[in-house]
Amino acid sequence: MRTYCYQIATILLLFILSACGETSKKKTKTEQTVVKDTIAVDSATVKEEEKEEEPFRLTDENAIPFFFEYQKEHKEHIVKINTSMGSFVVDLYEQTPYHRANFIYLTKKKYFNNTYFHRVVKNFIIQGGNTDMLSTAKKRDSIGLYLLPPDTRKGFKHHRGVISMPSSDDVSNPHKLASPYEFFIVTTRPGSYHLDGKYTAFGRVISGMNVVDKINHVPTDEGEWPMKNVIIESVEIVE
């Protein structure tokens, strides 16, 4: 009889231990699921934060919408261009809002600082906003790679002293989209009117044209690059 009781007790004990083990296993699996879910949520949060922290860059798709809004809040239109050969002042046309806003935006980004007047054609133009340095390419990349459509129907002519935006003449750019990082200033007397309708005139020199003329007479190589770099030391907003 005692043996029988012992057997019963043993069976009950084994049953209880087995039940506890199953409960423990279920609990462990539940805890593992919670941990995995937590890791998944944390990973998704990190990816979302990284996405939000990506710096804003201009593109062909967002440039016009961006400058449409930017020009409403940023009405500045007079800038002073300080070079290694002196300074001159430019008034940017209100009637060419995207090109004016683009120049103001790049000025505030300090893009033009330490770029060059890299192309000089005597009695025609001086062209600035580029260099042969890697740092300039990096600045462009950080701001964005984009082009601006021409705005040539406002009636502005390429008189002497007018600042305009260049574009390439190759077949890959049939609409003459403008390079936003560069500009040229007309030095021809009384002007270079064959450029009208092809390039966007978006301002004019109102003071310091003698400095522009001085730059226009520096010696250049066969590629129209000045033999001694003419540096745009800074561009500052006056009004």
CATH 2.40.110.10 fits 63-237, yes or no: no
Contact present, 146 and 180 (Cβ < 8 Å): yes
pLDDT digits (tens, 9 = 90+) for 7-62: 544 454 444 445 545 555 444 555 555 455 555 555 555 455 555 678 999 999 99
Phi-psi region of 156 (alpha: psi -120 to 50; beta: other; left: phi over 0): beta
Quote the pTM value: 0.77
Domain residue spans in the chain?
A: 1-54, 63-237
Name the DSSP letter for residue 175: T
pLDDT digits (tens, 9 = 90+) for 168-219: 655 456 667 888 999 999 999 999 999 999 999 999 999 999 999 999 999 9
